[in-house]
Amino acid sequence: MKKAIPEQANASATLSHRSVLLQESIAALDIKANGIYIDATFGRGGHSRAILSQLGDSGRLIALDRDPQAIEAGASLASDQRFSIHHCAFANIKTVVNDLGLYGKIDGVLMDIGVSSPQLDDAKRGFSFQKDGPLDMRMDTGSGVSAAQWLNTASLSEIATVIKQYGEEKFGTRIAHAVLEQRVIKPLETTAEFAALIDKAVPVKDKFKHPATRTFQGVRIFINGELKQLELGLAESVDVLCTGGRLVVISFHSLEDRMVKRFIKSQSQGPKYPSKLPLTQAVLDLGKILKPIGKAIKPSDEEVQRNSRSRSSVLRAAMKL
């Protein structure tokens, strides 16, 4: 009999973070007491604590995160011998698993994609247009270039493409022109400056969405290479799973969800044969790597009321064949 999952698995309210689709993601993992699991996006540990609550003494949880603050938060679980945390992006999941000698032995991988509430709420991180702070946006503050550094040096076409492609913002070219005009006068340095520039550049406002929403999303995705990370992370997760292992992915916007949906679909289809060939089902099944589990799951109305940031989340799950 499965143990009940405590609400937020005792995650501290001081971390100002509520794990999205918590009960649903743990159910999709179908946790075995002695299994080996990976929380590929530790964040503030809500999902990790829930997984640990389902594991027995011989179970094991490996957590990953590229945010140094998340690694610091993971120290609160250091006394649990079943748990370890590693400072890296989930695109490096195979390296971590190989180093631990656990390739092909993982029973489940959970990926909670995107920016976390603590990252959004910390003005110093520069993720939110609602809080004035340095225009940084890096998930790993110890590497790469900040959003400000990139915006103040990139070409017009580069900026416009990123905003339109990753932010799905139709006024990307207008915003890019505004950035180049502004940086001649004074380089962009803060989130408030960038948000005000976007607000002025966008000619038509959406009454349900701040005009900077899409642009901030697009720049953040680009700065952190999020879609490439997701592409690599999905492939590497499947590689390390054992037969019957589960892949569970929570995404927060359409670009991510489309990637996850297409990946699971592509991995669940075998080779293409002429329709009239007399082939057995066993032959047709050869080459199929994943089996989708159920339909996409979205948060309940109750969860959205408790946590408005869960509104756009989608969970998809699959099992390795």
- Nearest-5° Cα angle at 260, 259 to 265: 100
Q: Is 287 annotated as a binding residue?
A: no
What is d(CA 14, CA 118) in angstroms, rounded to the nearest whole number?
Answer: 10
3-state helix, strand, coil split of the chain in percent (to 5) is 45, 15, 40
Mapping DSSP to helix (H, G, I), strand (E, B) and coil, where does residue 301 land?
helix
Other C-beta atoms within 10 Å of 70: how many? 23
Amino acid identity for residue 61 in this structure: L
What is d(CA 310, CA 303) in angstroms, rounded to the nearest whole number?
Answer: 7
Q: Is 47 annotated as a binding residue?
A: yes
What is d(CA 228, CA 252) in angstroms, rounded to the nearest whole number?
Answer: 16
Q: Is 46 annotated as a binding residue?
A: yes
Q: Judge whether 121 and 16 are in contact, CB under 8 Å.
A: yes
Q: Is 45 annotated as a binding residue?
A: yes
DSSP H helix total and E strand total for the chain: 14, 7
Strand partners, 84: 62
Q: Is 199 annotated as a binding residue?
A: no
What is d(CA 156, CA 181) in angstroms, rounded to the nearest whole number?
Answer: 10
Q: How many residues does the chain have?
A: 321
Binding residues for S-adenosyl-L-methionine: 45-47, 65, 90, 112, 119
Binding residues: 45-47, 65, 90, 112, 119
